[in-house]
Amino acid sequence: MPKLLIKGNRQPLQGEVKVSGAKNAAVAIIPAAILTAAPVRIENLPEINDIKILVDILDALGVKTQWESSSTLLVDASTLKSWQPPYDLVKKLRASYYLIGALVGRFGKADVPIPGGCDLGPRPIDQHIKGLAALGAQVDVEHGLIRVEANHLTGTNVYLDVVSVGATINIMLAAVRARGKTIIENAAKEPEIVDVANFLTSMGAKIRGAGTDVIKITGVDELGPADHCVIPDRIEAGTYMIAAAATGGNVLLRDVIPKHLDPITAKLREMHMTVDVTDDQIRVVGCASPQAVDIKTFPYPGFPTDLQSQAMVLLTQASGSSVITENVFEGRFKHVDELKRMGARIKVEGRTAIIDGCCGLSGAPVRATDLRAGASFIIAGLIAEGDTVISEINHIYRGYEKICDKLNALGASIQEIE
């Protein structure tokens, strides 16, 4: 397994970076494409491993897929013949849970192995199951499989006990083919949910309220062709914003939706960084002595949990102590021990981490404990003195398109080594 070698010493990142399509929208839109037997074209897909694996899963189910370019996929699910995606592929990513809603919507049945994804502590799917059962499906979890069967789905009211991105989208995928009206209450409001709803609407689905906490779906008998462009990845963008700030750099991010990045922009400004926003671009200019700030992660529009570890690295450079409270996932501090190996001074108490600022980091061997942790170690490596070697980088490649090339073009020195 290759590793990443990062030469540190705080070279300020300078230049422009183009942000790719959003992983967490794309990984739902590809399964959603099997809801129709008509042709679907999806543009602006990120070149990341999660997407490659999902396309392999569709191929294994009998769907015809073809890459029109490196970021545009054609899907023809008229040949879909199986409702049993293979364990070896499904276990590699979290988003394979969307195959449940999509297969049940199309076939009335799905046998999907329990999904993989980042280890962030317990990641139950009880709300997905509750929603599908409320729509009239029989759901059994046995032998590591989620088995779902429904003669027909019937629209209903579903109140989510926790705000869940995955459950909101999965219920939406099944409900677009149910008889009658479904109302999802306490729905998640992430921009990726709006993107999936827009995609489904372009196929002929009837969805109102995506992006609010009440989503109303009126089922239709059939869905048709679609041509869709995936929204920019706000988490990739936020990662580069933080990297620019941490290195005291000056970076222009292109192809972003600035509104989606408001929580990050606000925190960087609070730390005294300069953030200039135009239509679809953001420039971040670092400052000599950033201020400590407190961060609490929350569902959108709160500060995203997927940027918590990257922000933690930045806060090691602030003057004063900062507090991060992780409200979304109870086990999302696994990066802390690795950052301590690099000299960070961080104390974790339950869901809270206290970060001492003005900390000189030093390069060290570290293990990417999950996708965003891996990205945070790259940022730490850029500002550390000496070399950092990151292992288990397969996690990083699950979600960041050409991250080494993009950072090297900004003046970083990162290379893959054996």
Residue nearest to ligand PEP (CB): 117
Whether the CA torsion 163, 165, 170, 176 is positive or negative: it is positive
Three-class SS of residue 389? strand
Strand order in the sheet with 226-229: 64-69, 72-76, 39-43, 226-229
Q: Of 111, 195, 233, 306, which one interacts with ligand PEP (CB under 6 A)?
A: 306
Q: How many residues bind ligand PEP (CB under 6 A)?
A: 9
Max Cα distance, the chain (Å): 63
What is the distance between the alpha carbons of residues 203 and 32, in angstroms, rounded to a whole number?
A: 10
Q: What's the CA gap between 377 and 327, in Å, rounded?
A: 22
Q: Is 123 in the site for ligand UD1 (CB under 6 A)?
A: yes
Q: Which of 80, 261, 371, 396 forms a contact with ligand PEP (CB under 6 A)?
A: 371
Contacting ligand PEP (CB under 6 A), which of 399, 400, 401, 406? 399
Residue type, 301: P
Contacts of 374 (CB under 8 A, 6+ apart): 368, 390, 392, 393, 395, 396
User: Does 295 engage in binding with ligand UD1 (CB under 6 A)?
Assistant: no
Q: Work out what residue 126 binds among ligand PEP, ligand UD1, none; the CB cut-off runs from 5 to 8 Å by kind.
A: ligand UD1
Cα angle at 231 between 112 and 23, to 5 degrees? Answer: 40
Cis, peptide link before residue 301, omega less than 30° from 0 = yes
- Nearest to ligand UD1 of 123, 177 (CB atom): 123
Contact status: 27 vs ligand UD1 (CB under 6 A): yes
Q: Which is closer to ligand PEP, CB of 51 or CB of 293?
A: 51
- Which residue in 83, 199, 329, 400 binds ligand UD1 (CB under 6 A)? 329
Which positions are annotated as active-site residues? 118
Task: Report what 399 binds from ligand UD1, ligand PEP, none; CB cut-off 5-8 Å by kind.
Answer: ligand PEP
From residue 82 to residue 111, the character string flagging contacts with ligand PEP as x (rule: CB under 6 A) and all else as - is -----------xxx----------------
Site string for ligand UD1, 60-99 (x = CB under 6 A): ----------------------------------xx----
User: Are 326 and 353 in contact, with CB atoms under 8 Å apart?
Assistant: yes
Distance CA 234, CA 258 (A): 9
Buried b (16+ CB within 10 A) or exposed e, 280-315: eebbbbbeeebebbebebbbbeebbbbbbbbbbbbb
Question: Nearest CA to 232 among 191, 265, 200?
Answer: 191
42 is in an annotated binding site: no
Q: How far is the CB of 339 from ligand UD1 (least distance, A)?
A: 19
Q: Measured from the CB of residue 277, what is the shortest distance to ligand PEP in angstroms? A: 24
> Considering only residues 36, 65, 127, 308, which one is a binding residue for ligand UD1 as defined by CB under 6 A?
127
The answer to whether residue 195 forms part of the interface with ligand UD1 (CB under 6 A) is no
Query: Measured between alpha carbons, how far is residue 95 from residues 38, 67, 267, 336, 376 in Å?
Result: 23, 20, 29, 25, 22
| Binding site residues, ligand UD1, CB under 6 A | 24, 27, 94-95, 122-128, 162, 164-167, 188, 305-306, 328-329
| Binding site residues, ligand PEP, CB under 6 A | 93-95, 117-118, 306, 371-372, 399
